[in-house]
Amino acid sequence: MLSRRQLANAIRALSMDGVQQANSGHPGAPMGLADVAQVLWQDFLCHNPRNPQWQNRDRFVLSNGHASMLLYSLLHLSGYALTIDDLKQFRQLHSKTPGHPEVHVTPGVETTTGPLGQGLANAVGMALAERTLAATFNRPSFPVVDHYTYAFVGDGCLMEGISHEVCSLAGTLGLGKLIVFWDNNGISIDGDLKDWFSENVPARFHAYHWHVVAEVDGHDPAAVHAAILQAQQVTDRPSLICCKTEIAFGAPNKANTAQAHGAPLGLDEIKLVREKLAWSHAPFVVPQAVYEAWDATQKGCVLEQQWQAMFEQYCVAYPALAQALLRRMTGTLPEGWADAMEAYKEATQAKSEKIATRKASQNCLDVLGPLLPELLGGSADLTPSNLTDWSGSTVISVQHPAGNYIHYGVREFGMSAIMNGVALHGGFIPYGGTFLTFVDYARNAVRMAALMKQRVIFVYTHDSIGLGEDGPTHQPVEHAAMLRLTPGLSVWRPCDAVETVVAWQAAIVCQGPTCLLFSRQNLPTMSRTPTQVQAIAQGAYVLFDAHSAPDLILIATGSEVSLAMAAAQRLQQQGCAVRVVSMPCAEVFSQQPLAYQQAVLPPTVTKRVAIEAGAADYWYKFVGAHGKVVGLDRFGESAPSDVLFNALGFTAEHIVDVASSL
């Protein structure tokens, strides 16, 4: 009979050898956490290595993603489709074992981690998704949504501010099936962390209304086992299990030192580890008996089959619910929603209202909401400004877990990373709002949404100096450009209510994240032919055209489109053949066939002016060397919106002057 320690040592050996072979990586945390992981994965984790997508699996998040070899070892040993050769390819080009865990690259990896603290936030999102789905779909005797979310976090995750944001919210929401393990090893990269991380972590989490199991010896499997049992029994609060561990446990000279954090141990030390742990096998050799003891495939199949049997009965008892749950978990959209939105788009054009696009967005949500119960809305404490709620919004709380709207509080980063976790869990299309300028607070989570290709909708209102009196702290300048530079992110800045509908339609069907940039101020609805209405979806289209081939093209987005139209009228009166291109989404436009792009922006027309109340640089790729940009390369000021637009050059006169200078 193999001891738990021997089973854990398989992780230690694979991890130190994997890092050594790559000559790069982090052996310390995997070796320190091996005993905790052995207990969690072998005694508790409900998963099926043969089907990593089984919807009711427990979610496991490695928030300290630098410990990736721990996760790869666990997946390999448990029987996921991750071979010993994959482990030998650690950190190599196109391998299944990249430097930090990446979802969709490695079977069994639930989320991409490495930016510390965000995995923890994703785990909060997963636990929130689980609880909300369970409250919506479970029926007596049919707990069809019923799983835990486990997360490992390092000291670094808990030093990061986002851990405060999301753990505070998780405590308030009472996410009882979230169980977090803190790798309390006293070491971070700069060394012994007592001089930079000294708070009383258990007291901190008590204050968040968490259940805390303090002072667990992370190398005592019985203690870890008991702590997990205890955590599972507390169902009204999340649990933190504080695991005292030794970084690089088993390394005679490097254990308990920062040296073991992020560098190979070296062949000499590895030899000594083998002696100390009595692990005599060559690198990447795991005895058959160890594999057999770790193999979770049979147990996993049984677990899934048991769930499947229950689900089949649920299908009989509650066919509509079962169908809806399956549909939502596969991310499929319901029939009919697209037609309804098309009709709404046409009605919006016909109505021709002058309203802020944030208000148009809310009107849109009133149509979308009843069609798409998977929409999970929210705002970082700006609901009345973002207008992210709609008439059917019901707020999620401990008392009302089955709602569809989350008051995230003033936590932009936490909100964004939680939304990523919700999307990764499945069953929802999360959207959440804040002011565009505060995307800076959330920036890395938006980037992670793009990297992970998650359908998350970031609603950013107050999208320019047009917000007026709140002044330069609140007026975004460089933000739209920054978002557009992020690979895989769709950024829509609609000019009126109709383009707002199209932006929402695009966000719902997008394979990745979308940012919706909306105005605070009212904007007139442009008049359009049905063909023009259809063309909005291509990201850019001709909104106004000369009777002959154009000599000049004005390109604008959002609130500046109506200015461009006013300028075009004057230019036309002066005899200029001018075209106006509205470009609500440059990314989508850039994906159109070249023929379409060139039809909208004929290469022969080099007189071009782009107009956007934001950083100018981005627009030069559309206006070229001979074109000009009416942009904003300075901070705004506190003043009424119309005064500011005039003062900073966003007037039809100025656009005409710039165009005439070409």
Which positions touch ligand TPP (CB under 6 A)? Answer: 28-29, 64, 66, 114-116, 154-156, 160, 183, 185, 187-189, 247, 261
* Three-point CA angle 52, 43, 422, nearest 5°: 40
Count the alpha carbons within 13 Å of 129 in the hemisphere toward its beta carbon: 30
- The interface mask with Mg ion, positions 584-623, x = CB under 5 A, is ----------------------------------------
Residues contacting 101, CB < 8 A, separation 6+: 62, 65, 68, 71, 72, 109, 111, 112, 113, 114
Q: Which of 87, 128, 166, 187 binds Mg ion (CB under 5 A)?
A: 187
Q: Measured from the CB atom, is 197 or 620 closer to Mg ion?
A: 197
**CA torsion 494→495→496→498, rounded to 10°?**
-50
Least separation in angstroms between residue 197's CB and ligand TPP is 8
Q: Measured from the CB atom, is 68 or 514 closer to ligand TPP?
A: 68
Dihedrals phi, psi of 228, to nearest 5 degrees: -65, -45
Q: Choose the one of ligand TPP, Mg ion, none that binds residue 29, judging by a C-beta under 5 to 8 angstroms depending on kind.
A: ligand TPP
Least separation in angstroms between residue 224's CB and Mg ion is 17
Rounded Cα–Cα distance for residues 57 and 52 (Å) = 8
Q: Choose the one of Mg ion, ligand TPP, none that binds residue 328, judging by a C-beta under 5 to 8 angstroms depending on kind.
A: none
Least separation in angstroms between residue 429's CB and ligand TPP is 27
CB 25 within 8 A of CB 18: yes
Least separation in angstroms between residue 261's CB and Mg ion is 7
Residue 592 CA: distances (Å) to CA of 382, 585, 622: 35, 11, 14
Closest by CA position to 327, among listed 263, 371, 265, 271? 371
Q: Measured from the CB atom, is 14 or 116 closer to Mg ion?
A: 116
Q: Measured from the CB atom, is 110 or 183 closer to ligand TPP?
A: 183
Q: Choose the one of Mg ion, ligand TPP, none that binds residue 66, judging by a C-beta under 5 to 8 angstroms depending on kind.
A: ligand TPP
Q: Choose the one of Mg ion, ligand TPP, none that binds residue 122, judging by a C-beta under 5 to 8 angstroms depending on kind.
A: none
Q: Choose the one of Mg ion, ligand TPP, none that binds residue 261, judging by a C-beta under 5 to 8 angstroms depending on kind.
A: ligand TPP
Dihedrals phi, psi of 115, to nearest 5 degrees: -70, 105
Beta-bridge partners for 433: 379, 459
Q: Which of 21, 118, 185, 461 binds Mg ion (CB under 5 A)?
A: 185
Choose one: 188-196, 201-209, 373-381, 590-598; the region binding Mg ion (CB under 5 A): 188-196
Per residue, the 3-state secondary structure of 93-145, as one string, reads CCCCCCCCCCCCCCCCCCCCCCCCCHHHHHHHHHHHHHHHHHHHHCECCECCC
The set of catalytic residues is 412
CB 119 within 8 A of CB 62: yes
Q: Measured from the CB atom, is 181 or 458 closer to Mg ion?
A: 181
Q: Measured from the CB atom, is 91 or 528 closer to ligand TPP?
A: 91
Least separation in angstroms between residue 189's CB and Mg ion is 9
Q: Measured from the CB atom, is 137 or 152 closer to Mg ion?
A: 152
Least separation in angstroms between residue 117's CB and Mg ion is 13
For helices 118-137 and 412-425, angle between their N-to-C axes, nearest 10 degrees:
60
Q: Measured from the CB atom, is 258 or 498 closer to Mg ion?
A: 258
Q: Choose the one of ligand TPP, Mg ion, none that binds residue 475, judging by a C-beta under 5 to 8 angstroms depending on kind.
A: none
Closest by CA position to 568, among listed 557, 579, 581? 579
Least separation in angstroms between residue 153's CB and ligand TPP is 8
SS3 at position 565: helix
Q: Choose the one of Mg ion, ligand TPP, none that binds residue 28, judging by a C-beta under 5 to 8 angstroms depending on kind.
A: ligand TPP
Q: Which residue is nearest to ligand TPP (CB)?
A: 154
Q: Measured from the CB atom, is 116 or 655 closer to ligand TPP?
A: 116
Beta-strand (E) ranges in 484-637? 490-492, 514-517, 522-523, 541-544, 552-556, 578-582, 608-611, 628-630
Closest by CA position to 418, among listed 159, 33, 61, 107? 61
Alpha helix positions (H), 188-296: 201-207, 221-233, 267-276, 288-294
> To which H or E segment does residue 162 belong?
helix 161-173
Q: Measured from the CB atom, is 182 or 307 closer to ligand TPP?
A: 182
Least separation in angstroms between residue 44's CB and ligand TPP is 23
- The interface mask with Mg ion, positions 120-159, x = CB under 5 A, is ----------------------------------xx----
Least separation in angstroms between residue 357's CB and Mg ion is 46
Cα 81 from chain centroid (whole Å): 26
CB 415 within 8 A of CB 380: yes
Q: Choose the one of Mg ion, ligand TPP, none that binds residue 12, judging by a C-beta under 5 to 8 angstroms depending on kind.
A: none
Least separation in angstroms between residue 337's CB and Mg ion is 47
# of chain residues touching Mg ion (CB under 5 A)? 5
Rounded Cα–Cα distance for residues 506 and 514 (Å) = 8
Q: How many helices (H) and strands (E) does the chain have?
A: 27, 20
- Tell me which residues touch Mg ion (CB under 5 A): 154-155, 185, 187-188
